[in-house]
Amino acid sequence: MRPKHSADPARPLSRRSLLGSVTGTAAGAVLLSAAPALAAGPAVPLSPDADVAAQVLEEYLHGWRGYCDRAWGYDEVLPVSGGHHDFFAPGHSFGLSIVEALDTLFLLGQDQEVTRCCDWIDANLDPAQDVYTHVFEAVIRIVGGLLAGFEATGRSSLLARAREFADRLLPAFTKSPTGVPYTLVNLRTGAVQGSAVPLAEAGTNVMEFGLLSRLTGDSRYYDASIRAYRAVLDRRSSIGLLAGSIDAESGRWLDSDCGTPNPPADSFNEYLWGGWALLGDRQLLDWYRTLTALTLHHQSVEASGRLWFRTVDFRTGEPSGPQEQSELASFYAGLLAKGGDLQQAAAYYRSWTDALDAYPVLPETLDFATLRAVERGNQLRPEYPNSSFDLWRATGDDYYRQTGYRWFTAMRDNQRVPGGYTVAGDVTERGMRLGDLTPAYWFAENLKYLWLMFSDTPRFDYANGLLSTEGKVLRGLRRI
């Protein structure tokens, strides 16, 4: 299977595409431009299901109580042992699950909890800790979480805190000779470390930094994102592909594997799309279209009648590496749908649905030729229902809600424990062995997609809403 794809950035898009039509490339233009309007208004026929929505709410609150009772104020809960986990560095907590949960709690109508979280953040969240912090994770989780919390509540302290974090993360970008951000920065001193940068980490910040620039009128954040993109995209191979990791200091590629949408590329293309949709920067859309056309041309492959994406050498386009697909890549069906490639989006989603049918819950990595589990654990990841939501929004087809609900019941049947929800050790074992962690992203993403599909909440603008890679609603929250 070699799906056809036009590389023409001006080609007509699907009626249901989430694309707008505003142009603008310079930082100033983006800061001043209005958010792109949708191509054709709301196209999703909503048919809320109150019973399913109630189930989703119950399970979210089950997980949330588990965190609050056992690990309140810490980054993540260990729901089986009752302990807690520091996500960024031992001995340093950012209350990450609280920040991650803000806009989900708002969408769920849990206003008292939102207020409790905001009060905790105001009193306790310290952006100046003397610790090396992962830049990519801090941007998508903390800066994004605070911005979504601000959008939900209008509480100015959240915006101020987001800005303070971003200011302390900026040295990773500004100290880089190429503009590709270092992977780590010390929040107190601004010292940087880590020049070997996975592609996703170089290019997953423009939504948060662009919105922050727009909200504050300070273009430094957005400019840093664009400089990083240019540094990477200027180094495409002669056939236009990107490799997996780049040296922030020399600008040299550190490998030759183009593995989109697997990590380490995963959200790189997602943010070209999201940056365009949120900020109206036409250059981002052009890059997205060009890279997507190349991915569909060089990497799409049929195996047992299913569409997958293989890893290729970025210089030649020839296959390289094992025929594996990470569960993290399953978000890509939704991205293809948002970009207007609905046929490929649907086919790729069906591939993942077949994989879901083969296991109690999805394994971390598959051999895509056989659907054999290569990495057998399950990290409670949200990528599959993310695609369910995106495809449902793009097509209005109830199949995506049904399969999203199937994913939800599989998680509930297999990963629910008295203290919340937990990761699994081996999904191929009978009587699956469970681990002991509720990742903070569970509070941001997994059930948010289900809730949005089934609740028809008036708190979300279904026509214009935009979510980040961490499921933060960066546009389209409605305060009521």
**Binding residues for ligand DMJ, per CB under 6 A?**
267, 328, 381-382, 441, 469-470
Report the nearest approach of ligand DMJ to the CB of residue 96 (Å): 11
Locate all alpha helices (DSSP H) within 138-219, ordered by sequence. 144-153, 156-169, 171-174, 199-202, 206-216
Report the nearest approach of ligand DMJ to the CB of residue 27 (Å): 24
Identity of the residue, 24 or 420, whose beta carbon is nearer to ligand DMJ in the bound complex: 420
Identity of the residue, 381 or 459, whose beta carbon is nearer to ligand DMJ in the bound complex: 381
Report the nearest approach of ligand DMJ to the CB of residue 169 (Å): 16
- How far is 48 from 98, CA to CA, in rounded Å? 28
Identity of the residue, 30 or 139, whose beta carbon is nearer to ligand DMJ in the bound complex: 139
Q: At what angle do helices 267-279 and 220-233 cross, to 10 degrees?
A: 140
Look-up of token digits 């880089």: 176
Contact 334/390 with Cβ under 8 angstroms? Answer: yes
If 0-12 CB within 10 Å is exposed, 13-18 middle and 19+ buried, where does residue 118 land? buried
Residue type, 6: S
- How far is 76 from 319, CA to CA, in rounded Å? 39
Reduce the DSSP state of residue 358 to 3 states and report it: helix
Residue type, 137: E
Identity of the residue, 314 or 332, whose beta carbon is nearer to ligand DMJ in the bound complex: 332
Report the nearest approach of ligand DMJ to the CB of residue 314 (Å): 21
Report the nearest approach of ligand DMJ to the CB of residue 469 (Å): 4
Identity of the residue, 219 or 468, whose beta carbon is nearer to ligand DMJ in the bound complex: 468
Kindly give, in sequence order, each residue whose CB lies less than 8 Å from that of residue 409, ignoring residues fewer than 6 positions away.
none
Identity of the residue, 16 or 141, whose beta carbon is nearer to ligand DMJ in the bound complex: 141
Identity of the residue, 85 or 381, whose beta carbon is nearer to ligand DMJ in the bound complex: 381
Identity of the residue, 14 or 407, whose beta carbon is nearer to ligand DMJ in the bound complex: 407
Reduce the DSSP state of residue 303 to 3 states and report it: strand
Which of 256, 366, 371, 375 has its CA nearest to residue 319?
Answer: 256
Report the nearest approach of ligand DMJ to the CB of residue 116 (Å): 24
Report the nearest approach of ligand DMJ to the CB of residue 382 (Å): 6
Report the nearest approach of ligand DMJ to the CB of residue 326 (Å): 10
Q: 3-class secondary structure for 210-238?
A: HHHHHHHCCCHHHHHHHHHHHHHHCCCCC
Contact 122/186 with Cβ under 8 angstroms? Answer: no
Report the nearest approach of ligand DMJ to the CB of residue 101 (Å): 14
Which of 165, 178, 182, 299 has its CA nearest to residue 231?
Answer: 178
Q: How many helices (H) and strands (E) does the chain have?
A: 19, 18
Enter the DSSP assignment of 41.
Answer: S
Report the nearest approach of ligand DMJ to the CB of residue 103 (Å): 14
Look-up of token digits 């028809």: 456
The strand pairing partners of 326, in sequence order, are 365
Contact 101/444 with Cβ under 8 angstroms? Answer: yes
- How far is 109 from 457, CA to CA, in rounded Å? 9
The strand pairing partners of 307, in sequence order, are 302
Identity of the residue, 222 or 441, whose beta carbon is nearer to ligand DMJ in the bound complex: 441
Report the nearest approach of ligand DMJ to the CB of residue 48 (Å): 25
Identity of the residue, 113 or 470, whose beta carbon is nearer to ligand DMJ in the bound complex: 470
Kindly give, in sequence order, each residue whose CB lies less than 8 Å from that of residue 25, ignoring residues fewer than 6 positions away.
281, 282, 283
Report the nearest approach of ligand DMJ to the CB of residue 200 (Å): 7
Q: How far is CA 55 from CA 343, 381, 450, 454, in A?
A: 32, 19, 10, 10
